[in-house]
């Protein structure tokens, strides 16, 4: 028998959606933190002093209103209240932890260093590579890719690391390694490699090539491994 697709082994119906929310929230954290503070409005020009008016009689003190609830941060709002914690940034890779649904996960996350489409300049959402460890599910260093568009139904994608190509199982806008027995070997190759090149085809026939720089990945995975032993 052939190997089961990784997606059928470990991915339930909720996980791709949770993954997308965590990615969005993870990138919202540094983006929000780096925003410059809003400029204070300039004071209005001085006006001629107005004629003083008689003071009205004092009114009874009103009861102080209850304090308004503190709004959630943008990152927490994006992830439905689950805000990832940045453990460290290593080259192009960030190491994070979060606990969606009360289950702790740790993940390394990066954007591609370069992206191309054929035909060129086709619109698509950002793509990411996401390597997660989920102790409650007994999953370690699962490689996931969010590609930025729905894949062609029934199509496979590929990830090239060095001289080795790995087949990827696709579902909606996500991709996972098809043969789970190759995953640890792929991660080891990525730890010592220079780039991972992911290729796929959209539902509209657009072909994409995303090149991920692997500098810092080994350190990021070491950090997530310490956090989620």
**pLDDT tens column, 125-145:** 999 999 999 999 899 999 999
pLDDT of residue 142: 94
Residues 6+ apart with CB under 8 A from 105: 22, 97, 98, 99, 132, 133, 134, 135, 228
Looking at the chain, the whole-number percentage of residues with pLDDT higher than 90 is: 58
Contact 174, 16 (CB under 8 A): yes
DSSP-derived secondary structure letter, 151: B
Q: Per-residue pLDDT for 179 more than 60?
A: yes
Whether cis (ω within 30° of 0) applies to the bond prior to 119 is yes
For residue 3, the model assigns a pLDDT of: 42
Range in 56-60, 71-75, 181-185, 202-206 the model is least confident about: 71-75
Q: Could you report the per-residue pLDDT of 152-169, keeping only the tens digit for each? A: 999 999 999 999 999 999
Q: What are phi and psi of 119, to 5 degrees?
A: -60, 160
Question: What does the pLDDT look like over 21-54, one tens digit per residue?
Answer: 776 666 665 433 333 334 444 444 444 444 444 4
State the pLDDT at residue 16: 59
Query: What does the pLDDT read at residue 83?
Result: 83
- Record the tokens describing residue 32, joined without a space: 């929000």
Mean pLDDT of 162-190: 94
* Structural domains in the chain plus CATH codes: 6-29+80-227 (2.60.40.1880)
CA atoms of 201 and 203, how far apart (whole Å): 7
Look up the pTM and report it: 0.71
Give the confidence band of 79 by pLDDT, cuts at 50, 70, 90: very low
Contacts with 25 (C-beta within 8 Å, 6 or more apart), sequence order: 75, 76, 78, 79, 82, 83, 84, 98
What integer pLDDT is reported at residue 4 of this predicted model? Answer: 40
């Amino acid at each position: 028998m052939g190997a089961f697709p990784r997606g059928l082994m470990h991915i339930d119906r909720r996980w791709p959606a949770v993954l997308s929310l965590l990615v969005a929230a993870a990138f919202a954290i540094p983006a929000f933190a780096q925003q410059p503070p809003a400029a204070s409005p300039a004071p209005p020009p001085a006006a001629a002093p107005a004629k003083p008016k008689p003071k009205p009689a004092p009114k009874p003190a009103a009861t102080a209103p209850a304090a308004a609830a503190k709004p959630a941060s943008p990152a927490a709002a994006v992830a439905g209240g689950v805000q990832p914690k940045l453990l460290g940034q290593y080259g192009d890779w960030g190491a994070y932890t979060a606990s969606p649904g009360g289950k702790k996960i740790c993940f390394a996350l990066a954007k591609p260093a370069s992206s191309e489409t054929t035909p060129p300049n086709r619109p698509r959402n950002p793509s990411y590579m996401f390597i997660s460890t989920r102790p409650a599910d007994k999953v370690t260093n699962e490689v996931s890719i969010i590609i930025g568009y729905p894949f062609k139904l029934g199509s496979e994608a590929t990830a090239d690391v060095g001289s080795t190509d790995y087949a990827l199982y696709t579902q909606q806008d996500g991709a996972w390694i098809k043969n789970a027995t190759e995953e640890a070997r792929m991660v080891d190759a990525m730890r010592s490699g220079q780039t991972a090149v992911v290729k796929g085809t959209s539902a509209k026939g657009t072909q994409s090539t995303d090149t991920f720089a692997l500098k810092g990945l080994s350190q990021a995975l070491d950090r997530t491994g310490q956090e989620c032993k």
